[in-house]
């Protein structure tokens, strides 16, 4: 159609998109255009603001490398990652769930570990941690033979992919649950860490006077055919940033209970419940490690 005024633009786009053969793509793109145009009208977006927005979107891509995923980081900082997670897990958002954001730092191909093995692959300071996890189905029966990827940052606040000083795959490992549905590892108690601020996510946080810290956590990815694959994170209840996570990941169901032992080490046990469903591993947001 020939556009006579600003009022015609949304209809013109939606009409042209009517031909989309895939019903779901058609639905998503029609809603996207409808909401995006409404947003532009609501805020009265100026031309210079539009140019700035284009620059931000371009910068997201330019900032992304094999060892850093800026789009994933920004979606967390906007709360979209956890919204999608909670919408799709816990009986479609009606029950608490152990599912949580995958986050931008999952790497596939972590070394296979025996139960109880250490995640340390190069010297890593920190208080010793003994973790034991149980993977259960919705009836609380153990789920044996599930693959569990584990990863976390060092107490310096960096994942190994960000930090050339750490060995490849330091603080990462892949475990398999035993007949009791359990898996266990040794590591160091994680500390909270700052997310990178040298890209558009950092500009967003600065513009809103937000800090860039994430509360201390351990990451998990649990996979077994017949169950819906979940990513999870277990948070430290004493972290000062628990209520202001810059990635909006903390839910009540994911606050762990560390127990300090007389020798200064910590133990942590946690139950993960899997729902019946499709097992599908997510695409890893990063594929490599930062060069020295
Ligand atoms: Fe993390």
* pLDDT tens digits for range 225-273: 999 999 999 999 999 999 999 999 999 999 999 999 999 999 999 999 9
pLDDT of residue 49: 98
Q: What is the reported pTM?
A: 0.92
Strand 193-194 relative to strand 213-214, pairing:
antiparallel
| Average of per-residue pLDDT values in the chain | 96
153 CA distance to ligand 1 middle (Å) = 7
Q: 166 is written with which tokens?
A: 């750490």
Torsion, Cα 158 164 165 167, to 10 degrees, reads 90
Averaged over 113-134, what is the pLDDT?
Answer: 97
Say if residues 287 and 151 touch (Cβ distance below 8 Å).
no
pLDDT of residue 290: 77
Measured between alpha carbons, how far is 152 from 156 in angstroms, rounded to an integer?
11
pLDDT of residue 138: 96
pLDDT of residue 12: 97
216 CA distance to ligand 1 middle (Å) = 8
246 CA distance to ligand 1 middle (Å) = 11
Three-state SS at 206: helix
Measured between alpha carbons, how far is 179 from 115 in angstroms, rounded to an integer?
12
214 CA distance to ligand 1 middle (Å) = 7
pLDDT of residue 291: 76
Each residue of 178-227: pLDDT tens digit? 999 999 999 999 999 999 999 999 999 999 999 999 999 999 999 999 99
Phi, psi of 235 (to 5 degrees): -100, 155
204 CA distance to ligand 1 middle (Å) = 19
Residue 288 in this model has a pLDDT that exceeds 90: no
157 CA distance to ligand 1 middle (Å) = 10
Measured between alpha carbons, how far is 31 from 6 in angstroms, rounded to an integer?
19
27 CA distance to ligand 1 middle (Å) = 33
Binned at pLDDT 50, 70 and 90, residue 71 comes out as: very high
pLDDT of residue 212: 97
Residue 292 in this model has a pLDDT that exceeds 90: no
Measured between alpha carbons, how far is 84 from 270 in angstroms, rounded to an integer?
23
């Amino acid at each position: 159609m020939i556009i006579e005024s600003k009022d015609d633009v949304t209809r013109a786009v939606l009409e042209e998109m009517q031909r989309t053969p895939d019903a779901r793509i058609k639905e998503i793109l029609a809603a996207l255009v409808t909401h995006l145009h409404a947003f532009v009208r609501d805020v009265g977006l100026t031309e210079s603001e539009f140019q700035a927005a284009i620059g931000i979107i371009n910068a997201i891509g330019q900032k992304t490398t094999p060892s850093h995923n800026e789009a994933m980081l920004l979606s967390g900082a906007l709360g979209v990652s956890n919204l999608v997670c909670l919408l799709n897990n816990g009986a479609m958002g009606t029950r608490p769930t152990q599912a949580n954001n995958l986050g931008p730092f999952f790497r596939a191909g972590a070394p296979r570990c025996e139960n109880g093995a250490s995640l340390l692959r190069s010297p890593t300071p920190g208080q010793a941690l003994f973790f034991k996890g149980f993977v259960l189905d919705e009836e609380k029966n153990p789920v044996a033979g599930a693959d569990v990827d584990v990863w976390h940052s060092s107490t310096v606040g960096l994942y190994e992919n960000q930090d050339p000083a750490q060995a490849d795959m330091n603080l990462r490992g892949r475990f398999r649950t035993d007949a009791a549905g359990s898996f266990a590892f040794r590591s160091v108690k994680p500390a909270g860490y700052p997310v990178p601020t040298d890209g558009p996510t950092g500009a967003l946080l600065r513009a809103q006077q937000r800090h860039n810290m994430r509360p201390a956590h351990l990451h998990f990815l649990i996979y077994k055919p017949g169950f819906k694959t979940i990513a999870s994170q277990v948070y430290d209840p004493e972290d000062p940033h628990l209520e202001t996570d810059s990635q909006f990941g903390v839910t009540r169901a994911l606050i762990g209970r560390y127990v300090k032992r007389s020798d200064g080490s910590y133990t942590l046990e946690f139950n993960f419940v899997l729902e019946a469903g499709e097992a599908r591993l997510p695409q890893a947001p990063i594929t490599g490690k930062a060069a020295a």
